[in-house]
Amino acid sequence: MSSMSTPLKMGVIGLGRMGQLYARLLATQITGVVLYAVAEVDTSARQKIADELVIPNTYREPEELLENPEVDAVIIATPTSTHAELVMAAAQAKKAIFCEKPLALTIEETRIVLDAVSRAQVALQVGFMRRFDAAYQEARALIVDGRIGQPVTFKALSRDPFCPRREFSDPAKSGGLIMDMGIHDFDLARWLMGSEVERVSAEGSLLVCKDLAEVGDIDNAVVNLRFLNGALGNVEVSRNAFYGYDIRTEILGSEGALQIGRHQHTPLLILTREGAQYNVTPYLMERFGDAYRAQLQHFAQCLREERTPDVGGEDALAACTIAVAATTAYRTGQPVRLSDL
C-alpha cells in the first residue's frame, strides 16, 4: 500500500454506466488517489475513458489489471453475476477492494467470497452508497441520539423511472428485482432500525414492463419485514415511476418520526392556469451524486489510515440474506425466517 504522502493507485474493472461514474470520480474528485488503470472488454468504451481521463494503463481483461503490482486497490463495477469471482481474484492478488452491491447472488457464494477476503486479509468496502448520503447520515445520527425514541416502523420505497433492458434484468445476472433494487433498502433498514431482520413476506408482480416476462423478472414488489426486536418494516420497489427517480424512507419512533427524501428535485413550484407543477429528480446522479463521491473518499481514507471501511462484508451478507429471503417469499407465497436459510 502507498505511504500517506503517495497517492493510492486505483484501478476500475468494468466501464459500464457505474464504472464510468467511478472512473470519473476517482480522476477528478477523490483526494489522495490516482486513477492508474482500467479494465474493460469493450474496446470503444475502454478507449473512450482512457482518452478522456488520460489513464496510463488500460487492459481488456480484469486479470491483466490485477497482475499489475503497482495497483493498490480496485473498484469492481462489472455486471452483478461476475462480482464474486472478481472479488476473490482481487483478494488473491492482495488488492484492496471496493465492490458494487451485491457481492454475490446467493448467501452461500457471499460467504465463500468473504472467506477469501478474510484469508487474504485485504480491505473490502461494499457499494451501499445511501449510507453516505447527507440526509440518511443525519437521520442515523438523530436515531442514535434518541431524538425519535425507539424506532418502531421502517417504510421505504425505491422507484426507477424506466423499464430496464431485458438482459440487465435477467435474474440469473441481476438476482431479480428484489435483489437488485431492494438490497439498498434492506441495508438501510438494518442500519437505521438498529436491529436485524427476523422474518419476511413478499408479493411481486409483472404489471407494466411486459418485456421482462421473457427473462422471468417482475417490475413491482412489496416486502414486509419483522425485526428481531419486534419492530416492523415495509419496502416497495418498482421499475415504472415514469415521472422520475423516487427514493423515500420514513422511520416512526416511539417519540417522533423521520422522513428522508422527496421526489421534488428543486424547491420551485410553478403555478399557472394549467395548475401547479414542479420538476422531479431525473435519476441516480441527481439524487445520490454526492453520496457516490463520499463513499469513494471514505474508501480511500480508510486505506490510507489502515482502518476497516464502515460498510463491509458482513453488511453485504446481511442484506443479501434479506433479499434472498424476500425473493423466496415472493416465489412461494409463504413467509420466510432468515434463520431457516
Could you tell me if 320 and 102 are in contact, meaning their C-beta atoms sit under 8 angstroms apart?
A: yes
Please indicate, yes or no, whether the overall pTM of this predicted structure exceeds 0.85. yes
CATH topology of domain 131-289+319-340: Dihydrodipicolinate Reductase; domain 2 (3.30.360)
Work out the average pLDDT over 240-265: 88
Could you tell me if 76 and 97 are in contact, meaning their C-beta atoms sit under 8 angstroms apart?
A: yes
Residue 253 C-alpha cell reads as 419512533
Domain layout of the chain by residue ranges: 8-129, 131-289+319-340
Could you tell me if 70 and 93 are in contact, meaning their C-beta atoms sit under 8 angstroms apart?
A: no
Q: What is the pLDDT of residue 114?
A: 98
Beta-carbon neighbour count of residue 330 at 10 Å?
Answer: 23
Q: What is the pLDDT of residue 84?
A: 98
- pLDDT per position as a tens digit, 186-224: 999 999 999 999 999 999 999 999 999 999 999 999 999
pLDDT range class, residue 18, cuts 50, 70, 90: very high
Indicate whether 236 pLDDT > 80. Answer: yes
Segments of 192-297 assigned E as strands = 197-205, 220-227, 232-238, 246-253, 257-260, 270-272, 275-277
> Class of the 8-129 domain?
alpha beta
Question: Which has the closest alpha carbon to 258: 310, 181, 193, 311?
Answer: 193
- pLDDT per position as a tens digit, 98-146: 999 999 999 999 999 999 999 999 999 999 999 999 999 999 999 999 9
Indicate whether 284 pLDDT > 90. Answer: no
Q: What is the pLDDT of residue 261?
A: 85
Question: Which has the closest alpha carbon to 30: 284, 286, 303, 285?
Answer: 303
Q: Phi and psi dihedrals of 226, rounded to 5?
A: -120, 125
Indicate whether 272 pLDDT > 70. Answer: no
**Residue 229 CA from chain centroid, whole number:** 25
- pLDDT per position as a tens digit, 247-256: 999 999 999 9
Beta-carbon neighbour count of residue 42 at 10 Å?
Answer: 12
- pLDDT per position as a tens digit, 21-72: 999 999 999 999 999 999 999 999 999 999 999 999 999 999 999 999 999 9
Query: Is 269 or 209 the better-scoring residue by pLDDT?
Result: 209
DSSP code of 23?
H
